[in-house]
Structure 1
Amino acid sequence: MWRFKPFMPKEQTGLEGRTIDIGNLKVHVRNAIAEGGFSCVYLARDVLHGSKQYALKHIIVNDEESLDLVLKEISVMKSLKGHPNIVTLHAHAILDVGRTKEALLVMEYCDQSLVSVLENRGAGFFEEKQVLLIFRDVCNAVFAMHCQSPPIAHRDLKAENLLLGSDGLWKLCDFGSTSTNHKRFEKPEEMGIEEDNIRKHTTPAYRAPEMWDLYRRELINEKVDIWALGCLLFRICYFKSAFDGESKLQVLNGNYRIPELPKYRASIIDLIRDMLQSSPDARPDITQASALLDWPFICINLGVVPCKWSVA
């Protein structure tokens, strides 16, 4: 079995140039393309089929909590395999390395993220058709998660977690933050645990009001993704965040402003407002959100044929 030394954040891991067997795949590890606190993503090439490239995610698993996150990510990706707007998991392995474990996830390679596309466009805003294409793909991915039983909430929808596939479709990634534990938190000790989870596994700029203030005692469920979709649609349209992200009061008070330019159809602006309702009960679900944009009409105009996963 493949063995290698754990790496520290921001240091070279030594995986470059190695050939590793993971599941039924043999991959040659090339350069690192992304880094996190305890993870690193590499570009890898299929040894038997040299034209195939993968993203190899290497995760240091220091404790039971981080192991649970890895297992959750694997489970969700396997349950959604085949969805055109979910990054495909091709193979995975969890290795014992001394006192720790290390996880290897071989995933579909996508060479751009939505955040990199937004940052590289300068002042060139998207045309309405481009906005709808991106948002359609995101909604299809969220629909597939929310129609599971129980619904799977992603809980960290953001531009960084949307990747552009080689097939031209936008794909959702990073499923370690997902949850099916939908509940109101009543007891202080439960609130403390959930507040810690929220702080560690969600992004402030996309965090719903009920996650900022558990003492509102509102149901925390998949509607947190609808709020995040509102923030995401705002960013796709205007290239900036609806909220500063660090301002709890700004979010709780719904203090944001729709810019005058660029101009988009009223249905898009109305959808942003509907998804950014402070109360989760007032927000549409993913099917309603799609209907508000007249989804069948949009699919026809974009030349899209809805697939079995589609909200259409």
Structure 2
Amino acid sequence: MQIGELGHRLWWFWRCDWLVMHPSNRVNLANCSLEVPDTLKHMDTYTHDVINPPYTKPLPSNRKDVWMLVWLFRKDKCEEPAGHFSTYVIFWTKGRNFISTLDQILCAPLSGFSTIELISPASDRRNLLVLKRIRCHSKSDESKALSEARLHLSLPSHPNILPCVGTGTYPLRNHPQGAISEVFMVLDYCKRGSLLRELDIRKKRGVGGLSSHLAAKVCVGLCNALLVLLSLDVPMSHRDIKPGNVLLQDDWCPMLMDFGSCTPAVIELPTYRDVEIWKEFAAEHCSMAYRAPELFQPKVGENITEKADLWSLGCLLYALLFLESPMDRVHAKGDSVALAVWSAKIHFPTETSDTPPGMLHLIKSMLSVDPQARPSLDNVLEVLASFER
């Protein structure tokens, strides 16, 4: 549908926000080269810098309808409550200009400050995307959210990393809860849902954990995703590996997501102040049942390395086989998870006859209190490959 044909219908849209998609360092409707109705040109507009260098990675093969430039229109000043249906309008160009509506299908809270919304082009309801919105109450919150969005958008395309299609910001004014802005991330939709959902379903049905073959396949995929993070110009670690941050495709291929906890792979702690800052970060961003010992009680003069992710991955492998982290029972009893982690006492369920001894040994090695005693990602991949076949 041509832009001119719909111009008279769009006068009631409140604001426009630029969604980062492809080269153009700043875009404003007032000086845009596209054919834009006058009613839109006079709107209050906001822009967002594109990552430098510009975003050039190929879009997923099933997103051929998303082209070069994308704007996101919203018709309300603040966010909608969960369950409220609203319409988004996106128009893009690749030799021609047209408009498509995006209907919000589902809105669900992720946390106190973020929601996810299932959206789709009105012209193709089968083509689904996820809109993640992070509400920011300060410039510091906004900076953190933008860092997450920019990192996710800059990641190379990989089958074990959830694709990020675009990002953007939306200023809020007179928000009832004091929020100053929202940061948007448009992500691919994964119908099967999270690994946490899969484990919860298995618990309710009483069918037991995954087979060693499937558990190995999931962990191999996650190892590959972590290797991608380590291959960046500044090597990164995820710091919050857990079932809730892993999506599953229909063929059990895992996709790592939620990169808000990422830090450089090596964190130096030369002073007590650095230790306290890191402890606060870990308490906020690293889930307790999957948190490595060195994240509970870091020591002055020592480094936090990528081996912390190996501990979390070992807990996740344990959960795949037995439907819960080795620290979940400790947490459920109200006992100290930190003490349990540092005690290095990892208890396996009595019924482990279906689990290969080699996989149990791998878990024990990944859950070593001493980070240096844990295997490398390459070593873990080598062992898991024997169970995946």
TM (norm. structure 2) is 0.70
Q: Distance in 2 between matches of 1:104 and 1:153?
A: 23
Q: Residue 269 of structure 1: which of 339, 356, 360 is its match?
A: 360
> In the alignment, is residue 172 of structure 1 matched against residue 262 of structure 2?
no
- Which residue of 1 is the match for residue 102 of structure 2? 27
- Which residue of 1 is the match for residue 303 of structure 2? 219
Q: CA RMSD in A?
A: 2.3
1:298 offset after TM fit, Å?
4.7
Q: Relative to 1, partners in 2 of residues 1:149 and 1:90: Cα closer, same or farther, differing over 3 Å?
A: same
1:200 offset after TM fit, Å?
1.0
Q: Distance in 1 between matches of 2:216 and 2:370?
A: 25
Q: 1:232-286 deviations in whole A, cap 9, x for unaligned?
A: 0011111122113552111011122122323311221111011111111111121
Q: Residue 243 of structure 2: which of 155, 159, 165 is its match?
A: 159
Letter in 2 for 1:115: L
For structure 2, the residue ranges without an aligned partner over 5 or more in a row are 1-15, 17-72, 94-99, 174-178
Q: Distance in 2 between matches of 1:47 and 1:34?
A: 23
Q: Relative to 1, partners in 2 of residues 1:14 and 1:259: Cα closer, same or farther, differing over 3 Å?
A: closer
1:227 offset after TM fit, Å?
0.5
1:150 offset after TM fit, Å?
2.8
Letter in 1 for 2:133: H
Paired residues of 1:89 and 1:105 also in contact (CA < 8 A): yes
Q: Distance in 2 between matches of 1:185 and 1:130?
A: 38
Q: Residue 229 of structure 1: which of 313, 327, 330 is its match?
A: 313
Paired residues of 1:226 and 1:275 also in contact (CA < 8 A): yes
Q: Residue 124 of structure 1: which of 168, 192, 207 is its match?
A: 207
TM (norm. structure 1) is 0.86
> In the alignment, is residue 103 of structure 1 matched against residue 193 of structure 2?
no
Q: Distance in 2 between matches of 1:149 and 1:276?
A: 28
**What percent identity do the matched residue pairs reach?**
26
Higher RCO (Cα < 8 Å, 6 or more apart): 1
Considering only CA atoms, is the larger Rg found in Structure 1 or Structure 2?
A: 2
- Which residue of 1 is the match for residue 343 of structure 2? 253
Q: Residue 166 of structure 2: which of 84, 91, 98 is its match?
A: 91
Paired residues of 1:210 and 1:218 also in contact (CA < 8 A): no
1:44 offset after TM fit, Å?
0.5
- Which residue of 1 is the match for residue 64 of structure 2? none
1:5 offset after TM fit, Å?
3.7
Q: Relative to 1, partners in 2 of residues 1:165 and 1:16: Cα closer, same or farther, differing over 3 Å?
A: farther
Paired residues of 1:6 and 1:60 also in contact (CA < 8 A): no
Equivalent residue pairs, number: 295
Q: Relative to 1, partners in 2 of residues 1:6 and 1:196: Cα closer, same or farther, differing over 3 Å?
A: farther
Q: Which sits farther off after the overlay, 152-161 or 108-117?
A: 108-117
Paired residues of 1:53 and 1:109 also in contact (CA < 8 A): yes
Letter in 1 for 2:357: A
Letter in 2 for 1:256: I
- Matching of residues 1-312 of structure 1 within 5 Å: 1=16, 2-3=73-74, 4-7=76-79, 12=81, 16-21=85-90, 27-98=102-173, 100-111=180-191, 112-122=193-203, 123-125=206-208, 126-165=210-249, 168-180=252-264, 182-215=266-299, 217-243=301-327, 244-245=330-331, 246-263=336-353, 264-293=355-384, 295=385, 297-298=386-387, 301=389
